[in-house]
Copies of this chain bind each other. A is one copy, B any other.
Amino acid sequence: MNKLLIVGTVAFDAIETPFAKTDKILGGAATYIGLSASYFNLQSALVSVVGDDFPQEYLDLLTARNIDISGLEVVKGGKTFFWSGRYHNDLNSRDTLDTQLNVLADFQPKVPQNFKNSDVVMLGNLHPLVQSSVLDQMETQPKLVVLDTMNFWMDCALPELLDVIKRIDVITINDEEARQLSGEYSLVKAAAKIHTMGPKYVVIKKGEHGALLFHDKEVFFAPALPLEEVFDPTGAGDTFAGGFAGFITQSENISFENMKNAIIYGSNLASFCVEKFGTERMIDLDKEEVLSRLKQFKSLTQFDIEL
């Protein structure tokens, strides 16, 4: 089986939506990426850090999904990264209420020895120096390196971000972040500019409006599945990235044509993520449901015009 190395936060989240409110629940980019990628045939390992307030049941939940957590450092006496946010009525925007970095502040990632030859590396949203450090530790060149980031690092650590972006193959960011990073309003122009910064593939996530994959002069679009109700969008972007990286890892094919399929898988998995609070739906999910929804994606998008 091919190997996928995942780096990112493992966190406590407290979420408010127009429908309901949670106390501290399991969250974090690496958590969502790991759960999403676990629907594919692959070996995955998660590199991250938590405090010793992190419950054993959450660790068990990750290992139950065949995620190697030997690279998940548990800091004695430390507190786990905490994020709290409140979504607006349209669920498309949110306010951050609280961020406590805690053990994340001094995090030094350690890649497990038997994942230093991973086929695919998924660098979830974290400080760009942590993302770079993971790449430094690889002993063989991964077939594909995917990076997710956010506007926060563009504001606070742009030189470090630009450094790591030079070293990756695929970047996944949202539309506003693509505009900020490139200084271009048109997403077509933004993607072209980001190409010149390093990544051969640029994925622009537009939330409920789907995702675009740019490569050279080519572009592919995956819609989000129209849903009756979105319950909680937290983790949808990471679930999308995990589905993308997981499918690529499983299929060992990094052609543009296969990346189209990977984007569809990412959208598919993200459409489940938003149906319940936090990671709840991703834990419930079975492979039959994923396959059945792929059929919906086909009928949603496929047409037959003779040319």
Which residues of A pack against B, CB within 8 Å?
Answer: 89-90, 185-189, 206, 209-210, 212, 218-221, 223, 226-230, 257, 260-261, 264-265, 291, 294-295, 298-305, 307
Q: Say yes or no: B228 contacts A219, CB within 8 Å.
A: no
Q: Which 9 A-B pairs have the closest CB atoms?
A: A209-B209, A260-B303, A221-B223, A188-B228, A261-B305, A188-B226, A301-B301, A221-B300, A261-B303
Min CB distance A31 to B, Å, is: 26
Give the docked Cα–Cα distance between A206 and B219 (Å). Answer: 20
With beta carbons under 8 angstroms apart, the residue of B185, B209, B257 that contacts A206 is B209
Give the docked Cα–Cα distance between A304 and B302 (Å). Answer: 10
Q: Say yes or no: A299 contacts B209, CB within 8 Å.
A: no
A-B residue pairs in contact (CB < 8 Å), sample of 20: A89-B185, A186-B230, A188-B227, A188-B228, A189-B229, A210-B210, A210-B223, A218-B299, A219-B300, A220-B301, A221-B226, A221-B301, A257-B304, A260-B304, A261-B303, A264-B303, A291-B307, A294-B307, A298-B307, A301-B301
Q: Say yes or no: A223 contacts B226, CB within 8 Å.
A: no
Min CB distance A184 to B, Å, is: 10
Note all chain B residues with C-beta closer than 8 A to A228. 186, 188-189
> Provided the pairs A188-B227, A223-B223 are in contact, do residues A261 and B301 lie with their beta carbons within 8 angstroms?
no
Note all chain B residues with C-beta closer than 8 A to A307. 291, 294-295, 298
Min CB distance A287 to B, Å, is: 12
